[in-house]
Structure 1
Amino acid sequence: MNILLTGGAGFIGRWVAKKILQEGHKLWILDDLSNGREENIVEFLSHPNLRGFIKGTILDEELLSGLFEKQHFELCYHLGASINVQDSIDDPRTTFNNDTVGTFYIMEQCREHNTKVVFMSTCMVYDHCTDETGIAESHPTKPASPYAGAKVAAENMVLSYYYAYGLPTVVIRPFNTYGPFQKTGGEGGVVAIFINNHLNGQNLHIYGEGTQTRDLLYVEDCARFVVAAGFSDAVNGEIVNAGLGRDIAINDLALLITGDPSRVKHVEHIHPQSEIQKLLCNSSKAKGLLKWQPEVTLEEGIARTLAWIQAGGLQ
């Protein structure tokens, strides 16, 4: 297949790229490197099936038009997005343009060329969970940040192309994903930041009380899920979750990583209004429709991530 992957130089994107290339498909990656890094995909640049790495933005309609016209993509994994909650609060326009308007431009090209779309959304669109069976796709949404709001808007547009035009589309909502190649600085995920601080002898800072929970999905499990959604007709027109099915309080996560309570410090939350107190995924739909389930435990995933950061990672 000819496949376009937007955001392919990002953390999750590079693992999706690796999986697609392993399966023998011809791949083009489009990324403006505002969040992704070319170092993430340097090992793929000489791969015979990576037919192009294009540094460009999904907001460039002329660029998109030329790409789709020339390459005849059969499948588009759309991962390119602004993903930082605080950035979306500080500058909602940029997030809306990238996540909603940019998605519209992608959808228009896919409609014209009859290209299936796998749209990467987020668990941050959900209201908090009180049920120990976890959050299923029918759970109420609550866009508590402009990031979540932009994603909800884009989700609805993606699904509208399925209903209005019969275009095969699927919305995927992976839960908090972590693993090798995630940034260890301020823009990174909590696991990578905690491990990096632990290895450097620094304190682990937790926003708020630390009782908020997260369902942490190892990145290779996430990439298997993302790729599978593109090759299944069973999920067309659907919203599908993926998570570990186990949540952990941030306080407990910090102790799991450092083992030293004296190094765990609590700081004032930067966006308490957008915090989701409990995130626990119910992935039964993905298991039923895609035969997907996570394979890497939290402890094993943390060990793999720690080993990668210890070995030098990407700073």
Structure 2
Amino acid sequence: MNMLVTGGAGFIGRWVVKKLLDENHSVIVLDNLSNGRLENIEEFKDNSNFKFVKGDVRDKDKLDEIFKDKFDIVYHLAASINVQDSIDDPETTFFNDAVGTFNILERARFQMFGKNGRMDGDSWILDSEENTYPCKVVFMSTCMVYDVSGSEGISECHPIKPVSPYGGSKIAAENMVLSYYSAYKLPAVVIRPFNTYGPFQKTGGEGGVVAIFINNVLEGKDINIYGSGSQTRDLLYVKDCADFIVLSGYSDKADGQIINAGTGRDVTINELADIINKGKVRVNHVKHIHPQSEIMKLKCNYSKAKKLIGWKPKYTLEQGIEETGKWIEETKLLK
């Protein structure tokens, strides 16, 4: 099959690309490299089934050009992903996450039903002169749309409560995705992975908490925790996340659905620091930059993913941290 992965040079995107290529699909990656990095996809450059295009999901002309290739599945991962940045610059986040998603949905609709196609009741009347081709959109949302979790974990029916423009933009995009499924019968699914970590995640200030903590320990630097550290996260290893994303595209049962992915185990940031640090460096608690954007408890109920598409996580937190630590250490030795 022919796949488009937007944001495919990003941390999670490169693992999705790897899995698709390993399964012998053709993959085009569209990425503007604002967050993604070419080194993430360096290993694929000689693969005849792989192509990289530098471009932006806000660029309609670029999208029109790319969609001249017909795609079986569009894995739409491109987004502004930093919660704190979204508070400081909400416009960029909104246009990337909500408007960019709309642009992708329109191209998928044109591909599947043509620009001249029209709905008659709940059926499509297509123009026989147009070269149409079926297409599915997998939209990657986030657990950051949810209200705080109870002890039982967050299911897809859990209340949403965006506490940042990032969460708000993702909900806006989700609603557009589901509206295209309902209004146009465009196959589409909204997926909400919980906090993902693993190899290829950035280790600097813009990276994830696991990567930052591991990197600091390796470099003998203090670990700084925003606020009390009592906030919890359900940490999903990136290989499990990529499996979930790809499976969501393969399964017709996922169409029209919102599906979570996580481990069902949450840890406080203080506990996470202890697991990674083992007393090697000092741990400090520092003032939170934007405390209003903090969700104090995130714990996933992934039973719908298990029932609907047969997915469940394979890695424990400790196994994922060990693999991530080895990768970060090996990467440092290569520099």
State the TM bucket, normalised to the shorter chain: over 0.9
- Give the alignment's TM-score, normalised by structure 1: 0.98
| 1:261 CA displacement | 7.8
Match of 2:146 among 88, 104, 126: 126
Instruction: Provide the TM-score with structure 2 as the length reference.
Output: 0.92
* Code of the aligned partner of 1:125: V
C-alpha distance in 2 between matches for 1:67 and 1:84: 27
CA distance in 1, matches of 2:222, 2:275: 14
Give the number of the structure whose alpha-carbon radius of gyration is greater: 2
Structure 1: 5+ residue runs without aligned partners? none
| Map of 1:86 onto structure 2 | 84
Aligned to 1:173: 192
> What displacement does 1:262 show?
6.2
The question of whether the paired residues in 2 share the 8 Å contact of 1:134 and 1:282 is answered with: yes
Q: CA deviation at 1:312?
A: 1.4
Give 1:48 deviation, angstroms. 1.7
**Counterparts of 1:1-315 in structure 2 under 5 Å?**
1-50=1-50, 52-68=51-67, 70-114=68-112, 115-130=135-150, 132-260=151-279, 263-312=282-331
Which amino acid counterpart does residue 100 of structure 1 have in structure 2? A
SS of alignment partner, residue 331 of structure 2: coil
Deviating 4+ runs (over 2 angstroms): none
Deviation string 1:237-285 (CA, Å, 9 cap, x unpaired) is 0000000110000001001111118611100001110100000000000
Gaps in structure 2 of 5+ consecutive residues: 113-134
The letter for the 1-side match of 2:105 is: M
**Identity score, percent:** 64
User: d(CA) in 2 for partners of 1:305 and 1:205?
Assistant: 19
Matched AA of 1:112: F
Residue in 1 that maps onto 2:119: none
Amino acid at match of 1:165: Y
Counterpart-to-counterpart distance in 2, 1:28 and 1:42: 14
Once the two structures are superposed, residues 167-189 of structure 1 have per-residue CA deviations (whole angstroms, 9 ceiling, x without a partner) of: 00000000000000000001100
Whole-Å Cα distance in 2 between the matches of residues 278 and 209 of structure 1? 13
RMSD of equivalent CA atoms: 1.1
Whether contact under 8 Å (1:255, 1:261) holds in the other structure is no
CA offset digits 1:79-129 (Å, max 9, x no partner) = 000000111000000000000001000000001112200000000000001
Could you tell me whether the CA contact under 8 Å between 1:225 and 1:242 is conserved in 2? yes
